[in-house]
Amino acid sequence: MIGRLLNIYKVYFLISLLVSAVIILGNLSGGWVLFLMVVLAAILTPFIYELDYVLEAYVIEPDSEYSNSFKSLIKSKNYNGAFLYAHENKALSESSVFRSALTTLASFAIAFLLIFSKTNIFASTLILTFLLTTLYQQVLSFYDNSWRKWYTGFLEFTPKEVYAKIFLGIQFLIFLYFLLQVL
């Protein structure tokens, strides 16, 4: 079970490692406190997405089959099993708070405020890692043909696939610009 969880999270931790390494290399004169804050923020970021499963189970769809199974695993303190169940049964999940275009746009707005203000590096690393993980998940959604889910609840229509890909490309460019501002 632990091996399967590590397999799920390895890409997210690699993304976190990539962002933190770039930020640390760009701020070598920052000292060990900067290093510690960057690494801590990068390690915490993959777990932000897990709040999506908790929100669905307890707030959004508390009576669904998915929610009941997830809550019973949490109640029995089988946390590994709960998150493994959540990852293996994503299709049963009705909605996704953090995997949506609205959350992506809100994250970019927060990133804009954080990057261009005098804030600590922890918050900047956290939001940049979150954004890159979101972009990675959007890319994956094109491979499994679930990209339309990113736009449900936000737009009254679903854009054509080509426009969604253009939007994704623009997001990557903005992310790179933000990352360069932190350096």
pTM of the model: 0.79
Which regions of the chain are under pLDDT 70? 1-2, 5, 90-99, 119, 153-155
Query: What are the sequence ranges of the domains in the chain?
Result: 2-49+98-182
pLDDT tens per residue, range 48-62: 877 777 787 788 788
Q: Please check whether residue 99 is in contact with residue 56, taking contact to mean a CB–CB distance below 8 angstroms.
A: no
Take residue 96 and report the two structure tokens written for it.
Answer: 């996704």
Q: So what's the pLDDT on residue 154?
A: 67
Q: Which pLDDT does position 176 carry in this prediction?
A: 93
Tokens (6 digits) for 90: 């994503």
